[in-house]
Amino acid sequence: MFQASPLTKQFYLFVILLLCCHQTIGQTNEYILEEYLTEHTAQLNVLPKDIEHIHVLSEQFSVPSGLTHLYFTQYIHGYPLINCISNAAIKNGQVQFFANQLGSNIHQRINTQEPALTASEALFHAAEELDLASGPIQVISEESPTQVKLSPSAISQLDIPCRLVYYQIDEQTIRLTWDLSILSLENDHWWSLRVDAITGQILDKTDWMQSCSFDHSTDSEWSADHQCASSGFSFPKQSAHQFATSFATDQYNVYALPTESPNHGNRSLVIGPADALASPHGWHDTDGSSGPEFTNTQGNNVIAQDDANGNNGNGSLTDGGVSLDFNIPLNLNQAPAGYQDASIVNLFYMNNMMHDVWYHYGFDEASGNFQENNYGRGGAGSDRVNADAQDGSGLNNANFGTPPDGGNPRMQMFLWSAPAANVDLLAVNNSSLAGIKFAEPAAFGAAMPNTALTRDLVVYDDGTPDNEDACTNSINATALNGKIVLIRRGSCTFVSKVANAEAAGADAVIVVNNVAGSPITMGGTDPGIGIPAVMVSQDEGEPLITAVLGGQTISATLHDKPTYQLDGDFDNGIIAHEYGHGISNRLTGGRTTSNCLSNDEQMGEGWSDWFGLILTIEPGDLPTDIRGIGTYAIGQPTSGDGIRPQPYSTDPTINNVTYASTNNTGAISMPHGIGFVWCSMLWDLTWAFIDTYGYDPDIYTGTGGNNMVMELIMEAMKLQPCNPGFVDGRDAILNADQALNNGNNFCLIWNVFAARGVGLSASQGSTNSRTDQSEAFDLPASITTPLSVCISSLSTSLPLELTNFYIEDASLARLDLSWYVEMEQSIHSYIIERSSDGILFSPIGQVMSSDNFSANKSYTYTDHNPMPRQSYYRLKVQEDDASYTYSKTISQWLTPRDLVSVFPNPSRDRLVVTIHGAEDQEIRFQILDIMGREIPEFNFINPKGQKQFEMDIQRLSSGHYVLNGQSTNGQTIIRKTFTKI
């Protein structure tokens, strides 16, 4: 009841109707689905009896696309057909996309309705087949004879849930099975099993514990870095509204994104990085109230701890004190145990970043993300990531185990073998070029010094053309004396170069390769040279020469020292890869299953590689750059090939795989090699979008091509069918672009995939086979332009040079749009259009052109009544002749939680609602369920100037709700989640 107005019988009747209607409203999408299935039985190749008993496993609303995704399965005699999960995407009351995995004529294909084995007997047979130790098996709980929980005995670390299900073997046979999961005592496998309920045979098994399983040997000619510099590239500054609290002072000294590893840059101090939308109470919260519950490396999204003894127990956590100061010193020149605290902090940071960043692209609570407390936003909680640093149960690897929503995943990060007993190192000590340069020592001259040799760098000058190649005597001998000398590789011998430098007084020599690629070992007959010499690659050496010739004083160190094991907790690419397994497993087939990426052609390893690549793009990167996976962990330079058959690059001379490569069982492994081929396509797609729409360093809510492809691929994972192949994945991306961008990138996407062999006529065959793929490079008949023309048509669609269009400031009270124009000519005006879904736009304002011809003009427009949640904006550029074109679309997420407060929350009977910042408006209130579906309004208008009222919620059913406030013109301005208990 609202105390602000008289209590009426009509109001009570309304609440009663609301409670009666709530369940009906929740069933609307299921009704739409049932109607769709009934009308399309022929197209779906099912009988009416096949769809008599459909059960929705999960339902989630996707904020970026506005689609509601339903994941469902068929039931036979009360048991689910477990490996036939289909999904439908609904919008505006219609099924927009459908992924059909329905079984046909299912009732005639089952073997039995009654099990011959109990759950305990099935577990005994499974343990025997898996060669697991067995012991007494006890029933812990029994929900029904067909759904029980067994004690782990000596078989599993966790209790073993068992349920009867049907499992489709092939098009002829469906068998009754026990579905159960076993987490091995060694933690190397987390088996999800289907055990025949008649014979006890394991019919199907999926390992929820996915590991890097690196295909390449860890042997390498490359050296590894074991030093840490004090400063480096810091993460791009974010807008204040993104952080959980504008006054957050928690700080972490880490390899901050986009820095991939110690080889790629230095640590930096990030302060208050928690995102306001994804982690509204910060990274150290679990109760949803103000203030952290923990001062160590645990919180709502992850608990990061050491597991040096490999027992998955309660290891040590790094404590930051009451100020949450995790500025932990780091010296990599020691065994990893010596810097364990810094390692744990980096692991904690990176897990939280993966949580927060991908939340903005649809990996939220309703989609099955990893959170201990879901804050009433849907999904199942109690499943933050258990992340183990320096895990002692393995070596040269990493893994991630993903149970269905509500079960805690486990990430294990291992140490890596030291590349060699002794490693020759070159370190640049200052400037923006600071860091380790991978140096190959000469086969002649003095050995690398046992103690550090630190000198300034000087470039050799012999006064002739190509005057840095040291092929003749120097003309700057005075400057070379007592320095480390930089020399370009040239036409004369290596020995003569180094001898000339030594004669001029050099203490050491660095030869810079003059061709692309790795440095080589410099050979030659040693005439008695007494100084050390090394070669570095052209990519690493030329910037040093340029900087020194430009007047910079740069210090470098040469020394020979013992090396130690490498710590995977500092390789952000590997952490992102492992966390990515959790994302793809929870999104494909919905949050209630983790078995929809178990087929032979599945692309999980590809998405995981892509997660690491996209987050570590740095400004200035090029599509043709060599991007290797795991280069730090295996002791390679940043230009190394990494752990895949080839590095990632859009250059076909570097990466030439196509769809047919997946058939090559000798060169392409399963699943990692297959994933590598898929990621090669995703990487091409990423750069096609960046080439078209630009790169935006704001990885949360930016509007560049990188942000667009992040949104696209995440939505596609929700749309694709369970156990997809490459063609399924391609089609899901095309459908996602239709949902997100009205299909504007149809030409671009088709060109990218066709170029790698997933063209129109490509066939994936059975997704359960990795050797029956047929590639094709053709395009749909409607596409007659190559990729370059697609990109050009999208990126140059405006009649003027619109150099930037962005959101300058945003709050629920106002949102400022800005854009800059070069060479403005014949422009009449700019019409600002806004949308809630990115598809249907309406004009909200107009800005007139300043004059007929001008350069470098800036414009602004203020939306004084922005929409909460997601808002999309574009410019309709109106020309003098009445023709027009559109700008790119940009978007902004607004969190309206600060405009209204409710107390107490949770509440049993009443809420005190206090309004902040919208007192000058009349506000009509309504209640929404947690999926955003409208429950009929209370027909109450809060008058202007009234800041507080009470609301009676006694008759609401227990659950989570949203208090929604609209201005009298229908514009939503207030939204607050509350819980009725």
Q: How confident is the model at residue 16, as a pLDDT?
A: 32
Answer whether residue 488 shows pLDDT above 90.
yes
- The phi, psi pair for 487, rounded to 5°, reads -135, 140
Strand ranges for 591-729 from DSSP E: none
- The average pLDDT across 525-549 equals 92
Q: How far apart are CA 555 and CA 428, in angstroms?
A: 6
Pairing state of beta strands 79-80 and 68-76? Answer: antiparallel
Answer whether residue 402 shows pLDDT above 80.
yes
Q: How confident is the model at residue 672, as a pLDDT?
A: 93
Q: How far apart are CA 923 and CA 941, in angstroms?
A: 5
Q: How confident is the model at residue 19, as a pLDDT?
A: 35
- The average pLDDT across 805-812 equals 65
Answer whether residue 345 shows pLDDT above 90.
yes
Residue in the block written with tokens 């400063």: 231
Answer whether residue 804 shows pLDDT above 70.
no
Pairing state of beta strands 533-536 and 959-967? Answer: unpaired
**Omega within 30 of 0 (cis) for the link into 843:** no
Q: How confident is the model at residue 936, as a pLDDT?
A: 61
pLDDT in tens, 275-298: 999 999 999 999 988 889 999 999
Q: How confident is the model at residue 900 (pLDDT cuts 50, 70, 90)?
A: low
Q: How confident is the model at residue 223 (pLDDT cuts 50, 70, 90)?
A: very low
Q: How confident is the model at residue 57 (pLDDT cuts 50, 70, 90)?
A: very high
HSE-CB for 32 with a 13 A CA cutoff: 20
Answer whether residue 868 shows pLDDT above 70.
no
Q: How confident is the model at residue 186, as a pLDDT?
A: 77
Angstrom distances, CA of residue 231 to CA of 614, 922, 951:
23, 53, 54
HSE-CB for 944 with a 13 A CA cutoff: 3
Q: How confident is the model at residue 213, as a pLDDT?
A: 53
Alpha helices in 405-536, H assignment, sequence order: 477-480, 494-503
Cβ atoms of 557 and 454 closer than 8 Å: yes
Cβ atoms of 844 and 875 closer than 8 Å: no
Pairing state of beta strands 385-395 and 302-306? Answer: parallel
What's the predicted TM-score (pTM) here? 0.68
Range name among 434-438, 445-449, 617-621 with the lowest pLDDT average: 434-438
Q: Which one is predicted more confidently, 425 or 399?
A: 399
Q: How confident is the model at residue 255, as a pLDDT?
A: 96
Q: How far apart are CA 125 and CA 568, in angstroms?
A: 37
pLDDT in tens, 451-472: 778 999 999 999 887 779 999 9
Q: How confident is the model at residue 199, as a pLDDT?
A: 94
- The average pLDDT across 812-827 equals 76
